Amino acid sequence: MPKLATVDQCTGCMLCVDVCPHDAVVPQYKNGFYYPSINYTKCVECKLCEKKCPVLKKVFIKNEYLDKPFAVWSKVPLRRIGSSSGGFFTELAYYCFEQASVRNMPCCIVGVIIQGKSVEHRIIEKKEDISLLQGTKYLQSEASGIYEQTLQFLRKGYLVLFSGLPCQVDAMQLFLDKKQYSGEILTCDVICNGVPDGRLLELDIGNNFPDLKQIISFRDKLKGWNKCLAFTYERENGSICRLPIEQSFFLKAFKANYALRKCCYKCSYSTIKRNTDFTIGDYWGNTYSVEEQFKGVSLVISHNVRATEILKKNQTLFFYPVLWEECLRGNPRLYSGKRIIQYAIPRFIINRLLNQRRYSILKRLLTDETGAVSEKRYWWIPFKIWTILLKHIESKYREYKLKKILNTYKNEKY
């Protein structure tokens, strides 16, 4: 029988669901995350799911191209302000539509949208729908079916821009391996901090927003790009409510990094070398464009000649090359996938508390540690000390990894 990635290994990309020719693998929601489940009555033991699994296959990226980092932002104010950072992905989507028109090709963009209280991958074929894909979503989409759908568009001759988490984009590339199609695909992944437990949001909504109809965003630029974390949603009566991170249990819990998917604490995709055209994220730590930081600046890494040429040809983007040392310091997930914080005390009890829906205890564990001490609950002090120690160790470990990667890239500016 096929052996899929373990719970500790599985990224939830759901490639195994799409590659199974007998529909024997289905996504199953368990403990806040999606995992594949095999229906052994349908399984014929072809083991295609096992052979294609990105975790088990562990494809070595043979890319001799020297990856190049850039600071980027859109020249179109409305597109930039509607994006989480500098608006690069939005401009890339518009560029694909324009190039497809010039080449007399149909075009579609594959990305993630917010749908009600969750997120999902969606394929859009109109420029007017690009705004649906804008903005960071701090949830993982259940991606089963999207790889096969994308292939069908490619076989119809479409120019496709596929975006997602690093594990999802890698899964897309593996799915297309050795398959024939007349279209063209461009890929773009993100700098991912890890996937949070879906039960955190469910608990937050159940306890604080029972009248929530539609999540609007997890970030905005109302107070500037550097103070962007805010949970905005629409109520059943149509009114809009915005909560800054200080008032959002979900955002504070996500930022604490105690309730991520297990594989995210040792992510194999936290590297500069990736199986994609572009890697994008926030350019945290940027010191060259301070005056632009209120509006947002994107960090874009091109992984091949085609990607760099697209960046240069796009007339709606302002960009310039940057130093690896600066851009890596603000984005440790580009070089360090190991999270020492996984050994913090809350990590060992959080699953049980989430299953029991112990909101008050979870709120203290994940968002209000200092409050526990100030209220003279001294039993909490050892936990706090241990957490501080782990964060210090992680900081030292990241410094070690940073020096190692900078020696490889020699801190060159392109």
CA angle 34, 348, 337 (to 5 degrees): 60
What is the separation of C-alpha 255 from the centre of its chain, rounded to a whole number of angstroms? 14
Considering Cα of 341, then 342, then 348, then 351, what sign does the dihedral take? positive
pLDDT reported for residue 59: 66
In percent, the amount of the chain with pLDDT more than 90 equals 70
Query: Could you tell me the pLDDT band of residue 384, with boundaries at 50, 70 and 90?
Result: confident
CA angle 86, 82, 112 (to 5 degrees): 90
pLDDT reported for residue 285: 83
User: Is the model's pLDDT at 156 over the cut of 90?
Assistant: yes
If one compares 291 and 397, the residue with the highest pLDDT of the two is: 397
Task: State the pTM of this model.
Answer: 0.92
Extract the tokens encoding 32.
């806040």
Region of poorest pLDDT, from 234-248, 346-360, 399-413: 399-413
pLDDT reported for residue 241: 92
If one compares 13 and 414, the residue with the highest pLDDT of the two is: 13
* Strand ranges, E, within 283-378: 298-302, 317-321
Query: Could you tell me the pLDDT band of residue 6, with boundaries at 50, 70 and 90?
Result: very high
Region of poorest pLDDT, from 1-5, 76-80, 285-289: 285-289
User: Is the model's pLDDT at 411 over the cut of 80?
Assistant: no
Residue tagged 């796009």 (tokens): 314
pLDDT reported for residue 70: 96
CA distance 8 to 264: 9
* Strand ranges, E, within 191-339: 212-219, 229-235, 240-244, 278-282, 298-302, 317-321
